[in-house]
Amino acid sequence: MGKNILPEGNTVGKWFLPEGPNSDIVLSSRIRLARNLAGIPFLPRAEPKDQEKVLEMVKEALNEQRFLEEGYFLTENELSPLKLEFLKERHLIPLDFVRSERKRGIYIKRDETESILINEEDHLRLQSLTSGMDLFSAYEKIENLDNTLSEELPYAFTPEFGYLTTCPTNVGTGLRASLFLHLPGLVITKEIEKVLRSLLEMGLVARGIYGEGSETKGNLFQVSNQITLGLSEEEILEKVTKVGEQIVEYEKKAREFLMRDFRLAIEDKIARAYAILKNARLLNSEEATNLLLLVRLGINLNLIKEVDLKTINILLILIRPANLQIYYNQEMEERERDEKRASLVRSVLSNG
């Protein structure tokens, strides 16, 4: 497999541990800032030599401000398809970055809480991740990174429009605030469609867990703002936080309803999921994820006490195809992955 990449394959980012506010429902908060450099053609018009120049300028700025001592700078030459998939599964890069043929790179802080994509849709995409519902904390981190980089890099900015971006919906602050939510109560009670429709009316959007271009699957959703122009950073953060708090309340009420009116059915569903995970010899990625999410719900409903949320959150990352191969440090065919995945889950759950 060649040289491994960091973060290490047997760990998960600090942002994915259940330590933040409302982390039983909100797995994480994400802030992303879109930035471009003045005097260099924007993507996709930028030619390869322009893209190389952006890479060099960003790496030099990171080095000048000593960020490279706190993380890793990787270029496309160091990013094999497996490693790109590994980073996507950890929510550090989007689908478009995986598929792109541009001269691109990524900076990742060791604990995965901060990262920078170079030459994705914009010259720079700065990202901050925190546990639970804590957008303001995530923004504070990324604002510090942004301000420091702006001392070294000439951002494309005008007083009239703010930060200039490739996509018009990002012009202004260039800020996208997202919440990564686990909403089994709303899905099981079939109230989720009503919630998703109301998001659109409020100028927010729900996407799949890997961001734009990915489908919403199971009961995991990513909710974020759509427009940045005309809104301040604080207004965007307040709006997404307020909507997130409403969704959390809806989810809590849905769970209470299920436990009050359908307790036996919910207990049975969760007990079966836990039993399968502890005994299965073959598990594909989708099945394992869905079963682990049911166990996660069971823990939050106090139906399962032998294992904690932290363990389940870690498994939700490690069982994904690329992460599983990095964890075992070997490339595997699908059948072998299913066997190794089941073995890993059994081993972890047996140790509680």
Q: Is there a binding annotation on residue 230?
A: no
The answer to whether 98 and 84 are in contact (CB under 8 A) is: yes
Q: Is there a binding annotation on residue 182?
A: no
Q: Is there a binding annotation on residue 110?
A: no
Neighbours of 3 (CB within 10 A): 7
Q: Is there a binding annotation on residue 157?
A: no
The answer to whether 82 and 4 are in contact (CB under 8 A) is: no
Q: Is there a binding annotation on residue 255?
A: no
Q: Is there a binding annotation on residue 28?
A: yes
Buried b / exposed e along 274-312 (16+ C-beta atoms within 10 A): bebbeebeebebebbbebbbbbbbbbbbebbeebebebb
Q: Is there a binding annotation on residue 162?
A: no
Q: Is there a binding annotation on residue 346?
A: no
Q: Is there a binding annotation on residue 99?
A: no
Q: Is there a binding annotation on residue 207?
A: yes
Buried b / exposed e along 11-49 (16+ C-beta atoms within 10 A): bbbbbbbbebbbbbbbbbbbbbbbbbbeebebbeebeee
Q: Is there a binding annotation on residue 229?
A: no
Q: What amino acid is encoded at 272 in this protein?
A: R
Q: Is there a binding annotation on residue 177?
A: yes
Q: Is there a binding annotation on residue 31?
A: yes
User: How long, in residues, is the chain?
Assistant: 352
Q: Is there a binding annotation on residue 179?
A: yes
Residue ranges of the annotated binding site are 28-32, 91, 125, 176-180, 207-212
Residue ranges of the annotated binding site for ATP are 28-32, 91, 125, 176-180, 207-212
